[in-house]
Structure 1
Amino acid sequence: MTRDNTPLCIGGSRVDARLRARVPALTRRVVDRLRAELPVYAALPPEEVAGDIADIVQRSLRLFADVLQRRGPARDEELVRQRESAAQRAEEGVPLDAILSAYQIGTAMGWEEISAGARPTDLADVQEVLTHLFVLQRQLVSAVSAAYLEARQLLDVQEHAPRHALLAALLAGEPLEQIARRTGLRPAPRYVALTLHVAPHPDEHSPGSRARIAARRKIRRLQTALNGFAGEPALTALDAAGGTALLPVPEEPAWAALCGLIGRTERAVGAAVTAAAASAAPDGLPAAVAQTADIVELVRRTDRPPGLYRLADVLLDYQLSRPSEALAGLAGLLQPLDGRPELLHTLETYLARDLDRRGAAAALHVHPNTVDYRIRRIARLTGLTPTIPADARRLSAALVARRTLRA
């Protein structure tokens, strides 16, 4: 009621009474429009649309009429059925945006029904009705979203727990039959083991909550990109810096396909990705994951560019990084250069550019003659000449051994 106890009226009729009288017919029109405009509702069973969906539409329209009659917001207990329906839609996999769109369509059609025939003299009542409409819409969106997300979170926990258990069992090397009994899931015939390192997104350097939001968004996008490769969820243990993923595959995929996956992943997360991959049957996964983790660490330690790597790409470095009596001897070849960081840096740059003195000079921002001078000093101190291919190979191996020992 308004302040003088007269009802809210538009076009000469009480808005609450007019809306209540039109609820049955309006409900049918709203439901028809939902099925016409929102494909997810068209795909629901007809009896569900005619039952639960129509019931929620009708309840929400009657609630709107109650709000207009008493000129006050909806009470918490009046939103119980909307919450229950949102949770049910979450279990069915109906997207939240479709549910909120449905409420918006119903609200708009209710407003069209009661505002038809409005006259200039109705301005005050029209404004008040709109105020109540906006408050109710905010309450509905808040209640429905909270119930949906709570239900979705519980479902995610239930769905992810067996997959996390399967991942842990595979990495521990448990027998396949034991894994199936304990997790209720049967391992795929083959997996691509991935170890990933993801650089920070620029937004992760922002102050406050923005950095945390950016990190969570990056993890979600990373998970989505990995899930899309095999057409089913990957087994993952991920954080904002990367982690481990097992991609179920029927057979070993082409290397180009895996490289394409990493490229798409980089674009999705908006940050550089360094990864290593190896394909293995379930019983070979512990060794495969250990190997890919070593490869990623080695790639990052040797300042290689981001991208996807396999053992063949780092054979020499990988072999030299294994413990052996020769490792210390190789590293010792560079001992004369201790305390001369400019010579070590020049050697690394010169070898990385395939003995190209001009390319090395450009990378070091020095004159080519300076590179020549430093190379001669390296040769005098170590007894190995970087310009000679055989000596260059020994020096390259010595650098790898030195980095390995110092790491």
Structure 2
Amino acid sequence: MPQPEVDPGRARSGVGATNAGSTPPDPATVEKLRATIGSLSTATLRQLDADLPWYRGLRPDERSALGLVAQKGIASFVNWYQKPVSPAWVLSDVFGTAPTELTRSISLQKALQLIRVVVQVVEDQVPFLAPAPDQGPLREAVLRYSREVAFAAADVYARAAETRGSWDTRLEALVVDAILRGESSDALRSRIAAVGWKSQARITVMVGSTPRDPDAGLLNELRRITGRLAEDVLVGIQGERLILVLGGVREPEKAYPRISELFGAGAVVFGPEASSLVTASSSAQAAFAGLTAARAWPDAPRPVSSEDLWPERVISGDATARGALVRSIYRPLLAASNGLEQTLSSYLELGHSLEATSRSLFVHANTVRYRLRRVSDLTGWDPLVPREAYVLQTALVVGRLTPAEAGADPVRHSGSPAASTTSPRTTAAAKARPSTAGRPGSL
């Protein structure tokens, strides 16, 4: 059976690359189209103003840019109808330099509404532009052309979204890096505003290892999950380290364990809460110091607070942890009455024995219990819990080795706690720790 003949030009350019018929368009119809470009453009702008309320609400410069796109679309249709070519021309010929303005002014849905109005205006004019035999091919050409323009518009918006996504990712990485370096400048504040950060309280930094073999959707997955648990999040990946800057975390005792599942193997450490994103560098530094020292505590919970790692951080040479132990534990104990520091020291040195401590101090065992309870209330660390007793013992050692004149607060031997005494911990780790009530040996 003989095969139907195929137009070589149609075969080369593909579907949608030729006009409606296999025969060239009527030159008279083409000339009439060219002569009516101005009137078609005017009719299109009137129709846009009548049918699209959002178009009427645009600024004059925005309406001008969209009107120019519509006029270019009509003029390009005439050229395409006369000499069909590959649809790749649509991006440059119709939209030209407009993609940036187009995507900023209207959404993709509105852009398609605009295209629909333009096509409708041209299609309504078909009976006046071509004789009856040519109206069918011309109308089909309008439909094919509108399809190519619609696909081109979708491509414009997709490219713009990719560009914005890449820029947002780079800007986010710059903000995270500035936080880690402790930068505090107007440039950082403008970048924070640019990434859309809104939280002004309960800001913490969580660090750990990057998941093994991360895929391209890792960042989106991180943002999707953390977005349910916190008001704001910034994600940074630096080699094998994954950094999350969290703002406005809801129910930290539940959220932190869930977020830690997003990290790779190994320890996950979160720093103390900061009051703003600009001051979050201290939380980041504490978290990284804790991540380095976490190897010394194999049974550490996941995640673990950087404050719970104070002893390991001191041993690894972290001066910040040393100062924190002195300020928050050692000096408040010295400033307190009733010999709390002496009672705690004896209790720790005598193997955590209440009876031995009471004999050593010549007081009743109930007095020892009362004083140890006061230590817990004052510092936030319970001497009856082995791990917390280790933190307290480290604080005593570090405090005794710290010169009194090295930034000492005027709280020693005052007979009562001074105003500058640090209050017990209020971090998420302390809140999440189970109560000691009911444990063997609890006060």
Give TM-score, length-normalised by structure 2.
Answer: 0.46
Structure whose CA Rg is larger: 2
Give TM-score, length-normalised by structure 1.
Answer: 0.49
